[in-house]
Structure 1
Amino acid sequence: MSYVNPTEFVVKMIDAGTAKIFMSTHDILIRAFMAGAILALSAAFAVTITVQTGEPLAGAILFPVGFCLLYLMGFDLLTGVFTLAPLALIDKRKGVTAAGVLRNWWLVFIGNFAGAFMVAAMMAIIFTFGFSEPPNEVGQKIGHIGEGRTLGYAAHGAAGMLTLFIRAVLCNWMVSTGVVAAMMSTSVSGKVIGMWMPIMLFFYMGFEHSIVNMFLFPSGLMLGGKFSMMDYFIWNEIPTVVGNLVGGLTFVGLTLYSTHGRKRAEPPQQGNGLIDVAGVPAE
């Protein structure tokens, strides 16, 4: 059977988080750079499809191709390490410290931003023929996305900031579910199917993903978007990063660990012989 039950894949989550914390700076930066670049290309792909077809669902259905590819190649997104790395600390893995978790997060952020920014510059060149003419239709769309998701939030003040934060929480609830879903199967097809569904959901719903935004907003500024870099950081990137952390760790990492991770070392309960959905004796 290719299905991995929750008690087993939670151990995989903790193991993965531990490995990421002890990874060398060189490896973290390369893997994060490639993850940011691939996800940025996928975002450009999805926006292009949406503009050319006039159907946002078409873009959302195909956007997960980038996420699946980067995961299968072992690259790292900030949204994923937000969920996995703290579990190694909570599980008291040997040598894991809070400083090690923060180091991993910071290096992944830098790598993701560098990769996404590189693709943002490349796509801006493509959309404007090397900045020799106004951006094409797709480039204009990206510029408008940047305006709506910075100044649009700012126009609503505190309510806008709350909306942005909640969208970021919901985003990484789904994205981290996709990361974990890939651990539920030992087959490539099973991993891809598991990842595809929640990633498609987050993109179509317009939730805020910090790494996707590392592409959309710098690219939008290069393409004539009417907002500033400060608007981007204050009214999108920083609140999105915080919301992504809360969503992934709270609704995925901690919930799975609290109900499946802590119980993996406990002896089976002798009771009525019923079996629960995870395949262990019911309590």
Structure 2
Amino acid sequence: MTSGSPCPLAEKPPEKRFLTPAETTCLIAENGKRVLNQSLSRTLLLSLLAGVYIAFGAQLATIVTHDAAPIIGDGLARFVAGSVFSLGLMLVVICGAELFTGNSLLTKAALHGHIRWSSIWSNWTVVLAGNLVGSLFFAWLMFHSLLWEQGQIAERALTTAQAKVELSFAAALIRGILCNWLVCLAVFMATAARDVTGKILACYVPIMAFVASGFEHSIANMYFIPTGLLLAGVPGLEAPGLTWGGFLANIIPVTLGNIIGGVIFVGFAYWYIHLKALRTS
């Protein structure tokens, strides 16, 4: 284990309503040390919970907006979907869970020398697998809850899944970059907030923005697309082209995009701005 440069701003966060960007960057880098002492079972369980929490927000967005566009317009329907979808990250941040996209910020700890890069790869592998299992489990639960028997809701879920698998590699990659840029900014701001109300607001605005904009989140898609695949087997519901191969063809570029967006545009950018001088001094 390499010994990183001290980050004095994070040793004892000041008692105030929010941290400055420099203080927040330090605190995130310090918090990254948790991967060194956290057991595999703990990481896996927290990852399963995160997959379920994101799926809670995703299914809520589907149900709330399945018939909204003809009434309030597509733009406002997207705004409502994003508003309720933000529940997922609120649960992750406030209740505690390991979300792959948010863990892009572990790169701050590696860049600052607190953890090895191999620790990040190991964490990402376990967390991504746990998020996937949690998302699939929740999709299975929702399918067997029979809440999807209402035709319009099922059709909306199928349409959402179909649209995602039809994206080109380049479009999915770019939408993934833009998505996790916002998700990691939400985590950054939630870390800066010192109370629950501040953390809720920090999660809400960026997540609402990415959903309303149509960006792509890998863990959310691990719920959306399998839900469509389950529904495609129901008599009367058709989804041509919706296959597990299409699921992988979406998840791969979206995941790569999420990594680029979180690691480069948030993790590296703020480390370079606030911590690079400390690392090299």
TM-score relative to the length of structure 1: 0.84
Task: Work out which of the residue numbers 137, 145, 170 in structure 2 matches 1:118.
Answer: 137
Deviations for 1:120-168, whole angstroms, at most 9, x for unmatched residues? Answer: 0111123467xxxx66321221112111111x22xxxxxx221111000
Aligned to 1:104: 123
Mapped partners of 1:265, 1:147: distance in 2: 46
Q: Which residue of 2 aligns with 1:60?
A: 82
Q: Which residue of 1 aligns with 2:72?
A: none
Find the counterpart in structure 2 of residue 2 from structure 1.
17
SS in 1 for 2:64: helix
Could you say if the C-alpha distance between residues 265 and 86 of structure 1 is closer, same or farther in structure 2, counting changes exceeding 3 Å? closer
Partner SS state of residue 133, structure 2: helix
Residues 86 and 58 (structure 1), Cα distance of their counterparts in 2 relative to 1, 3 Å cut: same
* 1:202-213 pair list within 5 angstroms: 202-213=210-221
Write the distance in 2 (CA, Å) between the matches of 1:90 and 1:266. Answer: 11
How many angstroms does 1:20 deviate by? 2.9
Work out whether residues 21 and 85 of structure 1, in 8 Å CA contact, stay in contact via their aligned partners in 2: no
Residues 127 and 136 of structure 1 are in contact (CA less than 8 Å); yes or no, is this contact kept in structure 2?
A: no
Structure-2 change in CA distance of 1:229 and 1:265 (3 Å)? closer
Q: 1:257 aligns with which of 246, 271, 274?
A: 271
Q: Contact 1:170–1:207 at 8 Å: present in 2 too?
A: yes
Residue 189 of structure 1 is matched in structure 2 by: 197
Native 8 Å contact 2:51 2:133 kept in 1: yes
Pick from 166, 179, 182 the counterpart of residue 171 of structure 1. Answer: 179
What's the C-alpha RMSD, in Å, of the aligned pairs? 1.8
Aligned-partner residue type, residue 173 of structure 1: W
Distance 2:83 2:201 in 1: 12
CA distance 1:233–1:8, shift in 2 (3 Å): same
| Ranges of 4+ aligned residues in structure 1 off by more than 6 Å | none
Aligned equivalents of 1:101, 1:210: Cα separation in 2: 18
SS in 2 for 1:253: helix
Q: Which amino acid aligns with 2:102?
A: G
Counting matched residue pairs gives 252
Matched, 1:222 2:225: no
Q: What's the CA shift for 1:21?
A: 4.5
In the alignment, the residues of structure 1 paired with residue 151 and residue 42 of structure 2 have an alpha-carbon distance, to the nearest angstrom, of 37
CA separation of 1:10/1:125 partners in 2, compared to 1, >3 Å: closer, same or farther? same
The CA deviation at 1:56 is 2.6
Give, in whole Å, the separation in 2 of the partners of 1:147 and 1:168.
17
Residue number in structure 2 paired with 1:281:
none
Residue identity in the other structure for 1:261:
L
- Show structure 1 runs of 5+ residues with no match: 154-159, 268-283
Question: Map of 1:31-180 to 2, 5 A cutoff?
Answer: 31-54=46-69, 55-82=77-104, 84-93=105-114, 96-127=115-146, 136-150=151-165, 152-153=166-167, 160-180=168-188
How many Å separate the matches in 1 of 2:49 and 2:194?
24
User: How far off its partner does 1:52 sit?
Assistant: 3.7
Taking the aligned partners of 2:78 and 2:43, their CA distance within structure 1 comes to 33
Q: 1:191 to 1:99 in 2, by over 3 A?
A: same
Deviation sequence 1:226-280 (CA, Å, 0-9, x none): 311011102x10111100000001110111000012245799xxxxxxxxxxxxx
- The answer on whether the counterparts of 1:124 and 1:139 sit within 8 Å (CA) in structure 2 is no
Contact in 1 for aligned 2:170/2:253 (Cα 8 Å): no
Distance in 1 of aligned mates of 2:278 and 2:24: 11
Amino-acid identity (%): 27
Q: Distance in 2 between matches of 1:29 and 1:15?
A: 21
SS in 1 for 2:96: coil
Q: Is the 8 A contact 2:112 2:279 kept in 1?
A: no
Q: Structure 2: any 5+ residue segments left out of the alignment?
A: 1-15, 70-76, 233-238
Q: Call closer, same or farther: CA 1:265–1:218 in 2, change over 3 Å.
A: closer
- Give the aligned residue type for 1:73: C
**1:273 corresponding residue in structure 2:** none
